Copies of this chain bind each other. A is one copy, B any other.
Amino acid sequence: MFLKNAWYCAGWGKDLSMAREELQTRRIAGEALLLYRDVDGKAVVLEDRCCHRQAALSCGKREQGGIRCMYHGWLFESGGKCIEIPGMEIIPDRARVRAFPVVERDGWIWVWMGDADKADPDLICFAVGPDDPDWLLNTGQMSIKSNYRLEIANLADLTHLAWTHDKTFGGTRAYADARIKYKLTKRGMNYEFWMRDAPAFNVFAHLFPEGMRFDFHFDVQMTLPCNFVMRFRSFTAGTVTEGESDGELLLDTYTCQAVTPRDEGSLDYYYSWGPHRDTQQPGITQSLMAWAHEAFLEDKQMLEAQYLRVKEKPDHPVVDYIHDAGPGKLLWLLDKLIDDERTEDAEASSSRQGTAFV
């Protein structure tokens, strides 16, 4: 079950060249897609399925005018319209493949999987891109064989950092004591919390004097389906117990993450992390990415094993606890958005039937 009228991340723009062979494929929300740049450099997303007999356009060939299906030579321009059928002089109007609205922003390629008329670029989530001059972000990607809702729940409750990420971002159980306010937005959820007077994370404890204490601030914006943008700051431990730390700011970072479901059982995970230019140090950008990658492999293992169990017993009872509040709210909102979309579709189709009647 996927939200259709939504922007899904199809990867980093910098990873898509204009080379003739650069015919990339994606699966997003169950749809097989072809991704390439047209002659103007604009990213194009077409359904990877020729309208003639369902040959894969990704087995095709880029030409000046578009993409040619190499089964029978039909040529499609970037909008999906067929503009040449070898052997035919007239091209039927139905000869078109589905084209998906695409926007490039903040280094990411965004694809609208629903009704093209409703594609609203204002719905694209805020993010800091790898090209931002103020932030020095490196990027990574990972494929995870799990349902994207489990990944959403993972990102909406960071207390798992103490456990799942014991070897990386763990080192304290104080995560569990954070009392976090989750604020639903129209299409997402924000939350932030402080961990004060905390020990170093295990992954970078070796860089600081033993016993040194820190204030950590996590400021998260999640947008459905499903992006996670977090500003994370480390201070030397200060003295205040409310509001901004009065310690020294050691590190100011942004991590921007996109979760794109391929289908019900797999997803692509795109992520970046890096420091603000002002808190940069030699090697820190590379280290953050190495730590992120290690940590996300820990998530991957957990989410894949969890998904196997959920598939075995989809109706197994659950036991709720305090830190389910974040995942619970966000998944509730996702369900609501999906429901609303279906109701809207049903009404639209019934009103269309009405029109046909008159």
Copies of this chain present: 3
Of the residues B73, B153, B306, contact of A173 by C-beta under 8 Å: B73
Chain B hits for A319, CB < 8 A: 51-52, 92, 94-95
Answer yes or no: A86 CB below 8 A from chain B CBs. Answer: yes
Stretch from A53-61, A106-114, A253-261 forming part of the interface with B = A53-61
Q: Indicate whether A59 sits within 8 Å of B301 (C-beta atoms), given known contacts A86-B173, A159-B87.
A: yes
With the chains together, A156 CA to B162 CA distance in Å? 53
18 pairs from A and B in contact (CB 8 Å cutoff)? A49-B313, A53-B324, A70-B166, A70-B302, A71-B163, A71-B306, A73-B162, A73-B176, A86-B159, A86-B162, A86-B173, A86-B175, A87-B176, A87-B321, A88-B321, A92-B319, A94-B317, A95-B319
A334 CA to B276 CA in the complex, in Å? Answer: 67
* Bound Cα distance from A166 to B68, whole angstroms: 12
Give residues of chain A (33-54) contacting chain B, Cβ–Cβ below 8 Å. 48-49, 51-54
In whole angstroms, how far apart are the Cα atoms of A235 and B185 in the complex?
73
Q: Does A356 contact B (CB under 8 A)?
A: no
Contact A163 B69, beta carbon cutoff 8 Å: yes
Residue from B48, B59, B88 in contact with A322 in the complex, judged by beta carbons closer than 8 Å: B88
**Cβ A316 vs Cβ B54 within 8 A:** yes
Nearest CB on B from A96, distance (A) = 9
Interface residues of A (CB under 8 A from B): 32, 48-49, 51-56, 58-59, 61, 68-73, 85-88, 92, 94-95, 153, 157, 159-160, 162-164, 166, 173, 175-177, 301-302, 305-306, 308-310, 312-313, 316-319, 321-324
Q: A71-B160, A163-B73, A313-B49 given as contacts; is B55 within 8 A of A306 (CB)?
A: yes
Q: In the complex, A51 Cα to B94 Cα: how many Å?
A: 52
Residue of B at shortest CB range from A88? B321
Asked if B305 and A58 make an inter-chain contact with CB atoms under 8 angstroms apart, the answer reads yes
- A309–B159 touching, CB < 8 Å: no
Inter-chain contacts of A324 with B (CB < 8 A)? 53
Q: Are A55 and B159 in contact (CB under 8 A)?
A: no
Known: A71-B160, A72-B163, A323-B87. A53 touches B302 (CB 8 A): no
Interface contacts beyond A72-B157, A87-B176: sample of 16 additional A-B pairs, CB < 8 Å, sorted by A: A32-B309, A52-B318, A53-B324, A55-B306, A55-B309, A56-B308, A59-B301, A61-B166, A70-B163, A70-B302, A71-B160, A71-B163, A72-B321, A86-B162, A88-B321, A92-B319
